[in-house]
Chains A and B, each alone.
Chain A
């Protein structure tokens, strides 16, 4: 696999030759989340320096499931089409107990959305696309083979001690977005606790390459007949690569279990043949942790540096992308002087509840898959036994509750409904996509991708407010159903495509007030 990956060359930074610059923003880490942060800022005309210690994209596939909301974010950032073209689209999952299929689900039960519920795509492909996009943008200064040794935070700036192949230097910035992963140097330098739980279980990940015509369905087995552990997951990725997860138990020896002579027979037993090649293996333990706060003065944490969840819910990479989706427009507004600094406090107010929802779902799935007591195991087994014949128990089977976009229901940036709506996305919720009638391939979500506040107006007349994007939508189509819209209904969207407010009729003063509230200007 490594032969197909580009190598990122080291370039000497101006700081090494005595130049001192206070950069507006430093992004630490060029994984999916850091790159998304940088691209998002650049699209808001904010320049940033991105540093990363690596000379290559990630090894192995790592994160593979990218949710619809992430694809919509990537559409806004300019990489969505490339990801969907390369990735494996899927909407359905199947759960087996032993050999018996007990439950199937479809994560996108409603047709007519631009993007599917999920695509599977190896993390390094995602990173390659995002690097290519970042390289197109002059506002991004991408510095590879730069390791952050120490991070210091002051009242109004940060200083990072950076090691490079040409020696160390100090990098200064007004703001820092720490996307430096689960072993975050920033977190360690600032001495922040990473609180949470470690689950006593070990899982083997094996990515294999094989030709197999089986459709792209997420398949999960409890008590499989081909494996004497507790569960197995199998999932298709791009380029004929398949992800298999085996639940090994706590007593498994991680070094032994990764060896080919252990892994290959396990997979042969599962598939009934040996016609595959091992691409990557890893053994991991479930953990669920988060920082108490995501903003620390001029330092923001996003992605795995801020919170980690166990896999099986696709809540790691997808929540990280929602972090920077939430942060970038706010930080850009503050840097430009369009919003007061207190707008940045809403990053915590919105993303901490979202993080807690991810942790809750992930912890519940983990408790089901890895019962922590005998009685917990008895209830788990009871659910599985009942699931064969009884519908209600199938709904209790938990093989991972897959990522859904956060709704910032209690955000201080929301203007609560004054008019009556029976349906449609309430303030704080992300946009719901719909096809527009004007022509095929015209999607509502694409009209909200200008990185600016946008007023969507259902009807034919066109009110306008200086500085606000305006989108007119036919009040009789599918979009109006999904938004519970009548002629005259308006929705105000933030740059991250979440609803700030909505009304039955346009009123310039009300729209202006909601816009100001969403920018913390009130």
Chain B
């Protein structure tokens, strides 16, 4: 069975998380931030594990670019 990417709110205390995410980047250069984000993505991707979900996440992230 392949799962589906959950896009309804799943984060506990979302405003707290958002603040923590921004705070993690405080004082970092752009390069350092890019590397931090890369580590974060890899850790989260491994936690999710399921390839179908990860592929949907990549597609959803690409599709959301409105610039």
Binding site for B on A (CB under 8 A): 374-375, 378-379, 381-383, 385-386, 390, 392-393, 396
> How many angstroms between the C-alpha atoms of A386 and B35 in the bound complex?
11
- Closest B residue to A385 using CB positions: B39
Nearest-neighbour CB distance to chain B for A388, whole angstroms, equals 12
> How many angstroms between the C-alpha atoms of A383 and B40 in the bound complex?
10
Given A374-B34, A385-B39, A393-B46; 7 other pairs, CB 8 A cutoff: A375-B38, A378-B31, A378-B38, A382-B41, A383-B42, A386-B42, A390-B46
A393 near B34: Cβ-Cβ < 8 Å? no
Chain A residues closer than 8 Å to B35, beta-carbon distance: 378, 381-382, 385
Binding site for A on B (CB under 8 A): 31, 34-35, 37-39, 41-43, 46
B34 near A396: Cβ-Cβ < 8 Å? no
A393 near B38: Cβ-Cβ < 8 Å? no
B34 near A390: Cβ-Cβ < 8 Å? no
- Closest A residue to B49 using CB positions: A392
> How many angstroms between the C-alpha atoms of A396 and B38 in the bound complex?
13
A382 near B46: Cβ-Cβ < 8 Å? no
- Closest A residue to B36 using CB positions: A382
Chain B residues closer than 8 Å to A378, beta-carbon distance: 31, 34-35, 37-38
Nearest-neighbour CB distance to chain A for B22, whole angstroms, equals 19
Nearest-neighbour CB distance to chain B for A79, whole angstroms, equals 43
Nearest-neighbour CB distance to chain B for A208, whole angstroms, equals 35
> How many angstroms between the C-alpha atoms of A396 and B35 in the bound complex?
16
Give 12 A-B contacts (CB < 8 Å), ordered by A residue: A374-B34, A375-B34, A378-B31, A378-B34, A379-B41, A381-B35, A381-B38, A382-B39, A382-B42, A385-B35, A385-B39, A390-B46
Nearest-neighbour CB distance to chain B for A468, whole angstroms, equals 43
Chain A residues closer than 8 Å to B42, beta-carbon distance: 379, 382-383, 386, 393, 396
A390 near B43: Cβ-Cβ < 8 Å? yes
B43 near A386: Cβ-Cβ < 8 Å? yes
Chain B residues closer than 8 Å to A396, beta-carbon distance: 42
Nearest-neighbour CB distance to chain A for B65, whole angstroms, equals 15
> How many angstroms between the C-alpha atoms of A381 and B38 in the bound complex?
9
Query: Contact check: which of A382, A390, A392 meets B38 at CB < 8 Å?
Result: A382
> How many angstroms between the C-alpha atoms of A374 and B39 in the bound complex?
15
Chain A residues closer than 8 Å to B43, beta-carbon distance: 386, 390
Chain A residues closer than 8 Å to B37, beta-carbon distance: 378
> How many angstroms between the C-alpha atoms of A381 and B39 in the bound complex?
9
> How many angstroms between the C-alpha atoms of A219 and B39 in the bound complex?
25
> How many angstroms between the C-alpha atoms of A396 and B45 in the bound complex?
12
Chain A residues closer than 8 Å to B41, beta-carbon distance: 379, 382
> How many angstroms between the C-alpha atoms of A378 and B32 in the bound complex?
9
Chain B residues closer than 8 Å to A390, beta-carbon distance: 43, 46
> How many angstroms between the C-alpha atoms of A383 and B41 in the bound complex?
10
> How many angstroms between the C-alpha atoms of A378 and B42 in the bound complex?
11
> How many angstroms between the C-alpha atoms of A230 and B64 in the bound complex?
35
> How many angstroms between the C-alpha atoms of A375 and B38 in the bound complex?
8
- Closest B residue to A382 using CB positions: B38
B34 near A392: Cβ-Cβ < 8 Å? no
> How many angstroms between the C-alpha atoms of A374 and B41 in the bound complex?
16
B34 near A386: Cβ-Cβ < 8 Å? no
Nearest-neighbour CB distance to chain A for B24, whole angstroms, equals 14
Nearest-neighbour CB distance to chain A for B38, whole angstroms, equals 4
> How many angstroms between the C-alpha atoms of A378 and B39 in the bound complex?
9
Nearest-neighbour CB distance to chain A for B3, whole angstroms, equals 19
> How many angstroms between the C-alpha atoms of A396 and B39 in the bound complex?
12
B38 near A379: Cβ-Cβ < 8 Å? yes
Nearest-neighbour CB distance to chain A for B36, whole angstroms, equals 8
> How many angstroms between the C-alpha atoms of A385 and B35 in the bound complex?
10
> How many angstroms between the C-alpha atoms of A374 and B43 in the bound complex?
20
Nearest-neighbour CB distance to chain B for A217, whole angstroms, equals 27
The 4 tightest CB contacts between A and B, nearest first, are A382-B38, A382-B39, A392-B46, A378-B38
Nearest-neighbour CB distance to chain A for B6, whole angstroms, equals 21
Chain A residues closer than 8 Å to B34, beta-carbon distance: 374-375, 378
Nearest-neighbour CB distance to chain B for A367, whole angstroms, equals 15
Nearest-neighbour CB distance to chain A for B67, whole angstroms, equals 16
- Closest A residue to B33 using CB positions: A378
Nearest-neighbour CB distance to chain B for A254, whole angstroms, equals 30
- Closest B residue to A379 using CB positions: B38
> How many angstroms between the C-alpha atoms of A390 and B32 in the bound complex?
20
> How many angstroms between the C-alpha atoms of A374 and B37 in the bound complex?
13
Chain B residues closer than 8 Å to A385, beta-carbon distance: 35, 39
> How many angstroms between the C-alpha atoms of A139 and B20 in the bound complex?
76
> How many angstroms between the C-alpha atoms of A33 and B43 in the bound complex?
44
- Closest B residue to A393 using CB positions: B42
Nearest-neighbour CB distance to chain B for A391, whole angstroms, equals 9
Chain B residues closer than 8 Å to A381, beta-carbon distance: 35, 38
Chain B residues closer than 8 Å to A393, beta-carbon distance: 42, 46
Nearest-neighbour CB distance to chain B for A394, whole angstroms, equals 11
> How many angstroms between the C-alpha atoms of A375 and B34 in the bound complex?
8
> How many angstroms between the C-alpha atoms of A396 and B31 in the bound complex?
22
